[in-house]
Structure 1
Amino acid sequence: MKDESEIWEELSNIPADPPEMRDKCLQCRRPAGVCWCPGLPTTPLKCSSRIVVLQHPAEVKRCLRTAPMLTLALEAGKCITYRGKKFPSAKHEGLMEILNDPDTLLLYPSPNAVPLNEFTPVGTDGQKPYNLVLLDGTWPQAKAMYTASPALSKLKSCKLVNVSTSEYVIRTQPTEGCLSTLESGALALSILENKPWLKDGMLGPLHYLCKFQLENGAVTHQSKEFLIKQKAYPKLIGKRLAKQLRTLPDTTF
């Protein structure tokens, strides 16, 4: 049996520094082996409007979040992010001015939301560039941010209609009509700018990520709504989720 001095000697030889982490990409901050930057446009995409992401703090911890893809796909300054649960606050520098801009739109299916294709595209009849506000979080988180932020309910709200199934096939969506933050922003921006090619360019990183994951063991996911209807959802759902699925509109925010 080792005596106390031997035990302390062994403990003293344990390195004080933490183990080395995997190398990370300097752009997307993901481990280099699973970086999605090769899917980014060769040069950042040009647009006149701006995307303003209001991000729930919990989104930062998600390893497969898509909001950073928006920032890196567009020219510098064309996608800005504010983090919090209530907007605006004192720490959100410049956000109040954006929310007070008459050309600011909130992509959210409120009762008064207008289909996005009914808005005048940028440059038509003198239409100025838009500020497109996106709520980045799960559906319950986005709803909570909207409810906690009276300033958001005063904005002109818009919605996407007749959207196709999400191309984020490695992540389960709540309903058939839900899109990721990246997909929502890309589709909305391409409509407001009247530049259909913007969508494909912005979705490049998502396509690259999904292709890589599927080639390395991931499987495609159906929406929770689809699985529940097919009685194939792997776990029971509570009354709260069942009610949310019944009340969700057929559009994304």
Structure 2
Amino acid sequence: MCDNMDDVLQELADISAEPPLKRQLCLKCGRPLPVCWCPHLPAVPIETKNRVVILQHPNEEKRCLRTAKILELSLSCGQCVVLRGKRFSTFKYPVLKEVIGDQTQDDSNSKRKTILVYPGMGSQPLSELSTEDSYNIILIDGTWSQTRSIYAQNSPILRRNGLALGGYLQTDDTSAAETTIVIYEKLTNPLIALCDFQLSFGAVSHHSKEFLIMNGLYTKPLTKRIQQKLSNKQDIKQLIR
């Protein structure tokens, strides 16, 4: 008994009084250094004629796999703005007032149109937008429940311009801005690196719920509404979020 007690006391004595060292984080992206994706960012920030405003749920900032930072660091200074919160007002966020104000100007040649990328009834596909115009693009960053909540709580502002997901904004090949395919490749490089890091540390790739349902691989019971949509060959995205 005494020997065991001596061993226990010795183990306690060997425990360091100092807190364990935390992993070193990249000062730019905030990721641990071994999985930093900064080397995969564009060598030169991308110049576009559009501006992106991200309304980010506060919980999203705490996620280790947050991706809004990729867009923020990939675009040139001032072309991507991240606003964090649940309720957004033009009084609290002057940049939001500026963005919404752009669409009320008469001089369409010098002012951007403001759009919200969000699926909904009466939305316009992104592919139908004119590539000659420049835009303020409002995105909502969070889980589907969080984005729905932000959309509902800020309806006076956000319901002015609702556009459906479904395409990338393209730029004119003859303009100074880069074409869509080049921008897409540059923006997805750090995202691909992020996924590769996760897989190398044991993460398992998986298909979306929609993919499993559409390919007959989903093992759980389907709701009657989903079954009805499937039988009518209709889109089920709105029902599985």
Name the amino acid aligned to 1:209.
L
What aligned pairs does 1:1-253 form with structure 2 within 5 A after superposition?
A: 15=17, 18-88=19-89, 90-102=91-103, 103-121=113-131, 124=132, 127=133, 129-161=134-166, 187-188=168-169, 190=170, 195-196=179-180, 197-228=182-213, 248-249=237-238
| Partner-residue secondary structure (3-state), 1:95 | helix
**8 Å contact kept, 2:115–2:136:** yes
Q: What runs of 5+ residues in structure 2 fail to find an aligned partner?
A: 104-112, 228-234
Query: 1-side partners of 2:81 and 2:16: how far apart?
Result: 44
Render the CA deviation track for 1:21-43: whole Å, top value 9, x for unaligned: 11111110100011111211111
**Root mean square deviation, CA, Å:** 3.4
Name the amino acid aligned to 1:111.
M
Query: 2-side partners of 1:104 and 1:143: how far apart?
Result: 20
Render the CA deviation track for 1:81-127: whole Å, top value 9, x for unaligned: 11111222643232122123211110011212111122221xx3xx3
From the superposition, tell whether residues 38 and 233 of structure 1 become closer, same or farther in structure 2 (CA, over 3 Å).
farther
**8 Å contact kept, 1:57–1:83:** yes
In the TM superposition, what is the alpha-carbon distance from 1:63 to its structure 2 partner? Answer: 0.9
Name the amino acid aligned to 2:137.
L
Give me the TM-score of the superposition, normalised by structure 1.
0.70
Query: 1-side partners of 2:196 and 2:50: how far apart?
Result: 30
Q: What runs of 5+ residues in structure 1 fail to find an aligned partner?
A: 164-186
From the superposition, tell whether residues 153 and 51 of structure 1 become closer, same or farther in structure 2 (CA, over 3 Å).
closer
In the TM superposition, what is the alpha-carbon distance from 1:228 to its structure 2 partner? Answer: 4.8
In the TM superposition, what is the alpha-carbon distance from 1:238 to its structure 2 partner? Answer: 10
Give me the TM-score of the superposition, normalised by structure 2.
0.73
**8 Å contact kept, 1:113–1:159:** yes
Query: 2-side partners of 1:18 and 1:93: how far apart?
Result: 42
**8 Å contact kept, 2:210–2:237:** no
Render the CA deviation track for 1:131-173: whole Å, top value 9, x for unaligned: 1000001112111111111233442222233x6xxxxxxxxxx
- Give aligned-pair identity as a percent: 38
Query: 2-side partners of 1:214 and 1:98: how far apart?
Result: 39
Which structure carries more relative contact order (alpha carbon 8 Å, separation 6+)?
1
Figure out how many residues of one structure are paired with residues of the other and give that number.
212
From the superposition, tell whether residues 247 and 229 of structure 1 become closer, same or farther in structure 2 (CA, over 3 Å).
closer
